[in-house]
Amino acid sequence: MAPELPLPIMFSEFTQNHSSALSLLVLCLFIPIVSILTTLRGRSRPKHPFRPTYVLPIECWDLVLEKCTLRDIISFANTSQASRRYALSHISRRVHSYLSPWFTEPLAFRRQLKEHNAIVSGSFVLALAVAPTWSPRDLDIYVGSAGGLDALSQYLENEGFEDITPPPPLVDTALTPPYPDVAPYLPPNAQMSNYRRFVKLVAMNDRDTEVFVDLIQTRSVLPGNLVLNFPASCVINWLTANEIVLTYPRLTFNNVALLRPHGRKPPTGVLKIKEDIWLDKYVNRGFRLVEASTDALPQSCGESCPHLERNSRDTWSLRLHYGDEQWRGARQEDPTLTWPAPWYRPQVPVCHHPGCPNRTPVLPRLKYMIFLRSLPV
């Protein structure tokens, strides 16, 4: 008869021989206990008690979001309803913060934009989108009527700006890119008919700095037509009274500037020199100039193909509505964060034009699935 083993030795031998069975037994007992404790905890405490948006004050979120691009803020807005409210209010405050060096009441300036159907474009909107380390010093305002030009000129003078527009014919020398009025390669509706320049001394970055406003009257009643013909995609953006529009968001957020995305020929002579000087400014700000999006992103000519030229109501641009409770001129419906799907999903618009040299045949997803379904198994 075998000697009887002590209980600890018997238990040790059992665990060695039946470790899998013991683990399964412990797991079966552990899961219901955790489930019960989790249920009781959820009943006794509010939902999501430790979510950061319920704890951190708005000032802390502003410190974080002011360093983020609009793409990052949109991603943050998708995490919860509270995050959405924080993101929307921050974008409105960001616009007012960027406008504050120029205007004493940014809200009043937005009303001027709405009243005269004007837009802001150039480096200012680019800085608003990418949150760079550099600060814009020039504000470009585009308006499509002579009455709007005069009214905005009077508004700027009331804000303390000084009109430094050179007298004719010297004013023609100020029409450098991106306002090439004398460039014959641009369509008539993408040119300007009048121009005024203003300057004001303001406190910026703890020192006195001159800030400039270029007020441009376009030949088209739609001032965006001129912006859509700028020589680089990184500045084909604009700000309205309650909307931010980025026509090439994927390229812009990747610090890529597509040259002449509208497919027009580059200028020659003096205008070419002026355009190169203007483009160097964005190279120094970290943007890479490319001739085609295939040089920058793993896709066909797609969203930058000349046959898919941008317009004011583009389906693959980023259109970001913003507003606040004090804004009386905004849309009547609740302001929302809206952006079309194609620009941030892998499926980007692809050119199927037969004459396009960058054409890449791509079978649409729906037809591809139908094709697979028709194959014999």
Digit-coded pLDDT (tens) for 103-130: 999 999 999 999 999 999 989 999 999 9
The mean of the pLDDT values for the chain is 69
φ/ψ (deg, to 5) at 58:
-65, -30
- Can you give the pLDDT at residue 44? 43
Considering only 263-272, 319-328, 329-338, 357-366, which range has the smallest mean pLDDT?
329-338
CB of 293 closer than 8 Å to CB of 301: yes
- Can you give the pLDDT at residue 109? 94
| β pairing state of 288-290 and 318-321 | unpaired
- Can you give the pLDDT at residue 33? 58
Cis bond upstream, residue 178 (ω within 30):
yes
Please, which pLDDT band fits residue 376 given cuts at 50, 70 and 90? very low
- Can you give the pLDDT at residue 139? 92
Token couple for 12: 């040790």
Measure CA of the first residue to CA of the last residue in the chain; give whole Å.
66
Digit-coded pLDDT (tens) for 81-105: 878 888 888 888 899 999 999 999 9
Interatomic CA distance for residues 25 and 326, integer angstroms: 62
Interatomic CA distance for residues 88 and 279, integer angstroms: 32
Token couple for 121: 């474009």
pLDDT at 6 over 60: no
Token couple for 38: 């989790």
Considering only 73-77, 165-169, 365-369, which range has the smallest mean pLDDT?
365-369
Give the distance from CA 40 to its chain's centroid.
44
Digit-coded pLDDT (tens) for 129-165: 998 888 888 899 999 888 999 999 999 999 999 998 8
The percentage of the chain sitting over the pLDDT mark of 90, rounded to a whole number, equals 16
- Can you give the pLDDT at residue 293? 55
Digit-coded pLDDT (tens) for 71-83: 888 888 888 887 8
pLDDT at 245 over 70: yes
Q: Closest Cα to residue 210, out of 219, 221, 198, 202?
A: 202
* CB < 8 Å & 24+ apart, contacts of 87-91: 87/337, 88/322, 88/323, 88/335, 88/336, 88/337, 89/58, 89/324, 90/61, 90/62, 90/65, 90/66, 91/244, 91/320, 91/322
- Can you give the pLDDT at residue 313? 62
pLDDT at 28 over 80: no
- Can you give the pLDDT at residue 280? 86
Amino acid identity at 142: Y
pLDDT at 199 over 80: yes
The CA-atom distances, in angstroms, between 109 and each of 142, 155, 190 are: 13, 9, 25
- Can you give the pLDDT at residue 133? 80
DSSP code at position 301: S
